[in-house]
Structure 1
Amino acid sequence: MKKQRLTPPTDCVVEITRRLTTIDAHPQLNALLGVNPDALAEAARYQTLRRRGQLTGPLHGVPLIVKDNIACAGLPLTLGCAALAQLRATTDALVVRRLRQAGAIILARANMSEFAFDVRSRSSLGGDVRHPTFPTLTAGGSSGGSAAAVAAGMAEGALGTDTGGSIRIPCSYTGLVGLRPRVRRAQMQGIAPLSLSKDTVGPMVHSVQDAALLHAVIHGQTPSTLEPMSLKGVRLGVIRAVEGDDPEQLAVWYDALVTLRRRGATLVDVGLPILPEVASATCLSLYEFRVAFDAWLRRHPGAPEGLQAIVASGQFLPEFLPLLNQMLACEKIKSPAWRAGRQLRRRLRQTLGLLAEQGRLDGFLYPTVGRIPESLAKMPPGCAPELAAISGFAAITLPCGTTRTGFPVGFEILSPAAEETALLALAAACETAFSLP
């Protein structure tokens, strides 16, 4: 298991200063939309407490970065959209409040795909988020700023949101661990909505242990160290139909499967007859966004009156205009198309649950994305990320190797279990297997 990095620094001021220096050194990445101006003052306060032996929690003085659709009191809350440039959060989102209670310092706000619409991160306020190692390539989306910032060393951890792959895709691209928890509506308090049926919030970090720590904190749980487990006797279903067609990525993926077998795991090829419906499904956000977003805007003083006002202003990426017009036409959520999407969700959950039960499977495996990016343009990730997004089950991506050029390859595990504990333990075992010679 990789060493835990999210630990209280011995000198909070030195740590924050070091991270701010790193931020200043990477403006070309467009990873951030703004730095918390009070970060150094907060670090000084935490350092004083540390000298007194008064640690506030497991994240005492740890700097974290938060995607800019997650409310942080007193800071802008823009979703990357120029029409929201003047909007400021008056209260913390639930997950941010819990981070602060654990001692974390919110260091900066991450750039993102505007409104969290896309699988690359481009916004009218921040431009394209670039890959920290391959700057001619996209860092993925919609939480690309969070991923690029962590990969570049601006912080050891960040929060992102995931509706259709928005945590896992950029984490796969940048070689990070990204957890999409199960859908829990209450956890989204204070976070701008995209799809009420699919939205989640989760950690983007360097190790599974750190993912488990942040996951516990933002869910109000007591963090605990993951217990090492063996892969012997573990049964995993491999969904071949979503492996993609990128030969360099597939070579790394196949090596990863060999590694798991060598460490004792039993791999079972799994067919998924419902997959064509998943691949062709219209995202529920098309029907849910306008109603939920208008309600969210009404809760923020000084915000535009609604999505219609934002569209009329023209202060957003022009490429999103056709999609925004489609969303404007959806004045009610519960249309026949929406009901069909919810029915697909139930059937996919049942299918995956039954496959796991019949095959005695501990989880399902597949590459996180179908192809690695080739430019700053959007690279369709395939339908693999939608398996967790549509079903509502938890999934985690972790790096399993790199291509010949050094580009990271993500390995996703999906679990139909009721809690994320078993998934995290399994991911930690896989992470250990990939790191051994």
Structure 2
Amino acid sequence: MKKQRLIPPTDCVAEITRRLTTIDANPQLNALLGVNPDALAEAAQYQQLRRRGQLAGPLHGVPLIVKDNIACAGLPLTLGCAALAQLRATADALVVRRLRQAGAIILARANMSEFAFDVRSRSSLGGDVHHPQFPVITAGGSSGGSAAAVAAGMAEGALGTDTGGSIRIPCSYTGLVGLRPRVRRAQMQGIAPLSLSKDTVGPMVHSVQDAALLHAIIHGQMPSTLEPLSLKGVRLGVIRALEGDAPEQRAVWDDALAALRRQGPTLVDIDLPILPEVAIATCLSLYEFRVAFDAWLRQHPGAPDGLQTIVASGQFLPEFMPLLNQMLVSQTLRTPQWLAGRQLRRRLRQTLGLMAEQGRLDGFLYPTVGRIPDSLEKMPPGCAPELAAISGFAAITIPCGVTRAGFPVGLEILSPAGEESALLTLAAACETTFTLS
């Protein structure tokens, strides 16, 4: 298991200063939309507590990055959109409140795909988020700014949101661990919606242990250290249809499976007949966004009075105009298309659950994305991220190797279990395998 990095610094002021220096040295990444102007003052307060031998919590003085669709009281809340540039959060989102209660310092707001629409992070306020190691390649999306910031050392951890892969795709691209928890509507309080059926919020970090820590904190649970797990006797279903045919990624994937086999689990090839339906499914957000987003705007004084007003203003990326026009048509949820999407969700949950039960599987494995990106343009990730997004089950991506050119490759584990604890324990064991191999 990788060493935990989210630990209280011995000098909170020096830690924040060091991270701000890293931010200043990397403006070309476009990873951030703004820095918290009170971060150093907050660090000074935490340092005074530390001198008195007091810790505010397990994240005392730890700087974190937050995606800019998650409300942080007193800071802008823009979703990367020029039409929302003047909007400020009046209260913390639930997950941010819990981070602060644990002692964390919200250091900065991360750039993102505008409205969280895309698997590439490009916004009218922040431009393209660039990959820290490969500047001419996208960092992925829609939580690409969070991933790029952590990978570049601006912080050891960040929060992102995941609707169709928006945590896991950029974490796969940048060599991070990204957890998509199962859908819990209550946890989205204070977070701008994209799809009420699929939205989640989760950690983007360097290790599974750190993912478990942040996950526990933002869900109001008591953090605990993951217990080591032997992979002997574990049964994992490998969804072969998602392996892709890109040679450079396939070679890393094959090596990762070989490394896992040496640790003793049983890897079972899985045929998922429902997969073609998942691949062509129309995203529920197409029908859910306007209804939820208009309701969200009404909760924020000074915000535009609806999506129609934003579209009329033209203050957003022009390339999103066709999508926004489609979304404007949906003024109610219970359309035939929306009902069909919900039905697919139920069938996929039943299919995965039954396969896991009959095969005595502890989880499903597949590459997080079908291909690695090669430019700043959108690279369709394949339907792998949608398995968790549509089913609502928890999934996590962990780095399992790099290509010859050094580009990270992610392995995703999906768990049909009710809680994330089993998934995190399993992921930690797999992480250890790749660290040692």
Is the shorter-chain TM-score for this pair beyond 0.5, marking a shared fold?
yes
Q: Which position in structure 2 is the counterpart of 1:138?
A: 138
**Where does 1:34-433 land on structure 2 (aligned, <5 Å)?**
34-433=34-433
1-side partners of 2:111 and 2:192: how far apart?
14
Report deviation, 1:244: 1.4
Counterpart of 2:20 in 1: which secondary structure?
helix
Identity across the alignment (%): 88
CA-to-aligned-CA distance 1:153-190 (integer Å, 9 cap, x gap)? 00000000000000000000000000000000000000
What letter is aligned with 1:283?
A: C
What letter is aligned with 1:3?
A: K
2-side partners of 1:229 and 1:367: how far apart?
22
Report deviation, 1:209: 0.1
**Residue 4 (str. 1) matches residue 4 (str. 2):** yes
1-side partners of 2:190 and 2:245: how far apart?
39
Q: TM-score, normalised by structure 1?
A: 1.00
CA-to-aligned-CA distance 1:70-112 (integer Å, 9 cap, x gap)? 0000000000000000000000000000000000000000000
CA-to-aligned-CA distance 1:328-373 (integer Å, 9 cap, x gap)? 0001111011000000000000000000000000000000000000
2-side partners of 1:363 and 1:270: how far apart?
11
What letter is aligned with 2:257?
A: L
Q: Which runs of 4+ in 1 moved over 2 A?
A: none
2-side partners of 1:250 and 1:389: how far apart?
24
1-side partners of 2:199 and 2:69: how far apart?
12
Counterpart of 1:87 in 2: which secondary structure?
coil
2-side partners of 1:270 and 1:358: how far apart?
12
1-side partners of 2:379 and 2:133: how far apart?
17
CA-to-aligned-CA distance 1:183-222 (integer Å, 9 cap, x gap)? 0000000000000000000000000000000000000000
Counterpart of 2:34 in 1: which secondary structure?
strand
Counterpart of 1:412 in 2: which secondary structure?
strand
- Which blocks of at least 5 consecutive residues in structure 2 are unaligned? none
Report deviation, 1:54: 1.2
Counterpart of 1:396 in 2: which secondary structure?
strand
Report deviation, 1:243: 1.0
2-side partners of 1:380 and 1:232: how far apart?
35
Counterpart of 2:213 in 1: which secondary structure?
helix
Counterpart of 2:145 in 1: which secondary structure?
helix
What letter is aligned with 1:233?
A: G
What letter is aligned with 1:42?
A: E
Counterpart of 2:140 in 1: which secondary structure?
coil
**Residue 16 (str. 1) matches residue 32 (str. 2):** no
1-side partners of 2:216 and 2:250: how far apart?
33
1-side partners of 2:411 and 2:134: how far apart?
20
Report deviation, 1:417: 0.1
CA-to-aligned-CA distance 1:261-291 (integer Å, 9 cap, x gap)? 1000100001100001000000000000000
2-side partners of 1:54 and 1:301: how far apart?
38
What letter is aligned with 1:204?
A: M
Counterpart of 1:160 in 2: which secondary structure?
strand
1-side partners of 2:89 and 2:139: how far apart?
26
Counterpart of 1:49 in 2: which secondary structure?
helix
What letter is aligned with 1:126?
A: G
Counterpart of 1:343 in 2: which secondary structure?
helix
Report deviation, 1:246: 1.0
Report deviation, 1:2: 0.3
2-side partners of 1:251 and 1:422: how far apart?
28
1-side partners of 2:96 and 2:15: how far apart?
20
The CA RMSD measured in Å over matched residues stands at: 0.4
Report deviation, 1:436: 1.0
2-side partners of 1:242 and 1:340: how far apart?
24
What letter is aligned with 2:408?
A: P
